[in-house]
Amino acid sequence: MAKKSIPQERKDIQELKQRQAFLTDANRSTAVKKRHASGKRTARENIDDLCDADSFDEIGSLIVAGQKGRKSIQELREHTPADGLITGIGKINATAFDKNTNCYILSYDYTVLAGTQGAFGHKKTDRLMALAEKANCPILFFVEGGGGRPGDVDFAPVSTGGLDLMTWRSFARLSGKIPRIAIVGGYCFAGNAAIAGCADIIIATKEASMGMGGPAMIEGGGLGSFHPKEIGPATTLTKNGVIDVLVENEEEAVKIAKKYLSYFQGRTPKWEEHQQRKLYSILPEDRRYAYDVTKIIEVIADKDSVLELRKEFAQNMITSLIRIEGKPMGLIANSTRTLGGAIDSNAADKAARFLQLCNAFGLAVISLCDTPGFMVGPDHEQQGLIRHSSRLFIAAASLEVPMITIVLRKAYGLGAMAMAGGSFHASFLTLSWQSGEFGAMGLEGAVKLGFKKELEATKNKQEYEILYEQLVAQEYEKGKAINAAETLEFDEVIDPVETRKRIATALDCHPQNNTPSRSRFIDSW
């Protein structure tokens, strides 16, 4: 019997594979070597690391830069694959969650025309945004790149300035509808930076530099000559709140992106808890001493479940994503190590935006309160404190998710009320540790104001100090947790070791937990 001949591969399949070969790192060795020499990974290496194995399906891969009027089609296929923008859909964290973990992924490719934004790339971006909205899937965007690309001459007859592009609107209108993450691994200017600024969070490497205008635009505007690293270095943008999480390199950036995304993918079935008795040693018995509230957060939360956002900005306010018994939630906390835990304009802005983020995606909020109130004084009023502080009240009043407030120590005045959602009875549950203390204003200020005549009547400084300390002690005794609880301004005084259990029980009782909000958008700031 004659052997059956093996059918040859169809010519059209061969042609497709030949065209797809231009896209691979293996066939772009010169560009890849240059990228590696700079200490960075290629766009495709980042995507491969981000997505679960063999799960990334590319979309719009065969386009090239709109420069056919300048270069041959072969040259464009070789040097401008995908128009410098890789897009597609892949699974992230699928092994941890028994649900849809698809994510729409976009990455500017810095090895292609310095990651600039091409005209065809904009069309592809808009298409991906539309697909992500229809599928209700998160978006993760690697945005490193130099902004707009003036060399796409193919569009010159039909476009003057490209001011009718929809890319930024397409991305911005998804705010509050689906989680959106921006990763910056290097230079990110102009249009690329505007995309990053519209994202829910920005994860950036230490080598990143960002700005609404790059060196050429700045110099062209007559504003001087600057190296890209001078314009918006990552260390500066981390301190002023632009960058949410600063990392060492792209590998860590991908790791953090996966962790961040996991909080919006549901409850984890496996979790471990810390020994809760550790809480006793973290909070000092002397009420005048500051302490590290992040250590309390670490103990209350499941092991390895805390992700702090905007860590270097407004350090008197902590904003973190955590899990308790596998359930994801947000957490805000006053930090007494900065301004004694008082809330200034930056702290109010930071907390208010974080509440919007949690509300948009159905995450309950835990508030750890230890504040003497809002900051006061002419310097702070000059910063618009009245409007900034009020953002915290407005954001909290709009919450559709439960807030649980735990008073760790100080709970004074409007600042404490803001930390509890606007009122201690606004929280779904308001608890206090035994160390809690309550009042309409800080004890020291209340004594100086309320007993001014008595203090001024003292004969000398020593007598003044003795009377002052006695009056403060009296006020503290009236306002300490076990006595303040008699007025039912809050729900219960608890032993710190009960905190996790109380939170878990309360959230299990709340029917709206993890229900997405109908909020229109999350404030960019």
Q: Are residues 353 and 406 in the same domain?
A: yes
Among 262, 295, 328, the domain-final residue is 262
* Separation CA 162–CA 165 (nearest Å): 6
CA dihedral 150, 154, 155, 160 (to 10 degrees): 50
* 8 — pLDDT class (breaks 50, 70, 90): confident
Pairing of strands 85-91, 102-108: antiparallel
Q: Are residues 70 and 203 in the same domain?
A: yes
Asked whether the predicted pLDDT for residue 96 surpasses 70, the reply is yes
Q: Are residues 359 and 469 in the same domain?
A: no
- The domain tally of the chain equals 3
Q: What's this model's pTM, rounded to 2 decimal places?
A: 0.92
Q: Are residues 310 and 453 in the same domain?
A: no
Answer yes or no: is 22 within a domain: no
CA dihedral 41, 45, 47, 50 (to 10 degrees): -90
**End-to-end CA, the chain:** 76
Answer yes or no: is 312 within a domain: yes
Answer yes or no: is 520 within a domain: no
350-to-204, 272, 315, 392 alpha-carbon distances in Å: 18, 29, 10, 9
Interval 304-313 mean pLDDT: 97
CB-count burial class (<10 Å; 0-12, 13-18, 19+) for 386: exposed
Q: Which of 36-50, 208-222, 242-256, 480-494 has the lowest average pLDDT?
A: 208-222
Contact 246, 221 (CB under 8 A): no
Range of the domain at 465: 442-479
* Separation CA 494–CA 477 (nearest Å): 18
**What residues are paired with 412 via a beta bridge?**
439
Contact 468, 446 (CB under 8 A): no
Among 221, 237, 262, the domain-final residue is 262
CB-count burial class (<10 Å; 0-12, 13-18, 19+) for 48: middle
* Separation CA 494–CA 490 (nearest Å): 11
Nearest CA to 358 out of 380, 327, 313, 383 is that of 327
- Those residues whose C-beta lies under 8 Å from the C-beta of residue 364, and which sit 6 or more positions away, are 327, 329, 330, 358, 401, 402, 403, 404, 507, 510, 513, 514
Phi-psi bin for 213: left (phi > 0), alpha (psi -120 to 50), beta?
A: beta
Q: Which of 7-21, 105-119, 275-289, 507-521 has the lowest average pLDDT?
A: 507-521
397-to-247, 392, 394, 403, 517 alpha-carbon distances in Å: 34, 8, 5, 11, 13
Asked whether the predicted pLDDT for residue 420 surpasses 80, the reply is yes
Answer yes or no: is 20 within a domain: no
Interval 422-431 mean pLDDT: 95
Q: Are residues 109 and 257 in the same domain?
A: yes
Q: Which pLDDT score is estimated for 448?
A: 77
Interval 51-80 mean pLDDT: 92
Interval 436-456 mean pLDDT: 80
495-to-302, 323, 332, 434, 482 alpha-carbon distances in Å: 19, 21, 20, 6, 11
* Separation CA 256–CA 253 (nearest Å): 5
The residue type of 57 is D
Answer yes or no: is 10 within a domain: no
* 245 — pLDDT class (breaks 50, 70, 90): very high
pLDDT, mean over the chain = 91
Alpha helices in 361-431 (DSSP H): 378-381, 385-397, 413-419
Q: Are residues 221 and 360 in the same domain?
A: no
Q: Are residues 469 and 487 in the same domain?
A: no
* Separation CA 515–CA 444 (nearest Å): 43
Q: What is the CATH number of the domain that holds 317?
A: 3.90.226.10
CB-count burial class (<10 Å; 0-12, 13-18, 19+) for 300: buried
Q: Are residues 151 and 189 in the same domain?
A: yes
Asked whether the predicted pLDDT for residue 391 surpasses 70, the reply is yes
Q: Which pLDDT score is estimated for 514?
A: 52
| 3-state percent breakdown (helix, strand, coil) of the chain, nearest 5 | 40, 20, 40
Answer yes or no: is 27 within a domain: no
- Give me 85's structure tokens: 């923008």
* Separation CA 109–CA 115 (nearest Å): 5
Helix (H, G, I), strand (E, B) or coil at 184: strand
Q: Are residues 342 and 420 in the same domain?
A: yes
Q: Which pLDDT score is estimated for 149?
A: 84
Q: Which pLDDT score is estimated for 235?
A: 94
Q: Which pLDDT score is estimated for 2?
A: 58
More confident residue, 288 or 425: 425
Interval 10-25 mean pLDDT: 89
Q: Which pLDDT score is estimated for 515?
A: 55
Q: Which pLDDT score is estimated for 512?
A: 58
Q: Mind listing the pLDDT tens digit for each residue in 351-376? A: 999 999 999 999 999 999 999 999 98
Helix (H, G, I), strand (E, B) or coil at 9: coil
Asked whether the predicted pLDDT for residue 502 surpasses 90, the reply is yes
Q: Are residues 366 and 463 in the same domain?
A: no
Interval 153-158 mean pLDDT: 68
Report the share of the chain in percent with pLDDT over 70: 96
More confident residue, 500 or 451: 500
Q: Which pLDDT score is estimated for 418?
A: 96
* Separation CA 504–CA 402 (nearest Å): 12
- Give me 5's structure tokens: 């001949």
Helix (H, G, I), strand (E, B) or coil at 50: helix
* Separation CA 174–CA 160 (nearest Å): 27
* 440 — pLDDT class (breaks 50, 70, 90): confident
Cβ burial 399-437 (10 Å sphere, 16+ → b, else e): bebbbbbbbbbbbbbbbbbbbbbbebebbbbbbbbebbb
Q: Are residues 405 and 450 in the same domain?
A: no
Q: Which pLDDT score is estimated for 207?
A: 94
Answer yes or no: is 516 within a domain: no
Q: Are residues 95 and 166 in the same domain?
A: yes
Interval 335-358 mean pLDDT: 96
CB-CB neighbours of 287 under 10 Å: 13
Interval 180-209 mean pLDDT: 96
CB-CB neighbours of 370 under 10 Å: 28
* 402 — pLDDT class (breaks 50, 70, 90): very high
* Separation CA 372–CA 343 (nearest Å): 8
Q: Which pLDDT score is estimated for 334?
A: 98
Q: Which pLDDT score is estimated for 337?
A: 95
Q: Residue 440: what are its φ and ψ, rounded to 5°? A: -70, -25
* Separation CA 307–CA 295 (nearest Å): 13
Among 232, 262, 292, the domain-final residue is 262
Asked whether the predicted pLDDT for residue 451 surpasses 60, the reply is yes
Answer yes or no: is 47 within a domain: yes
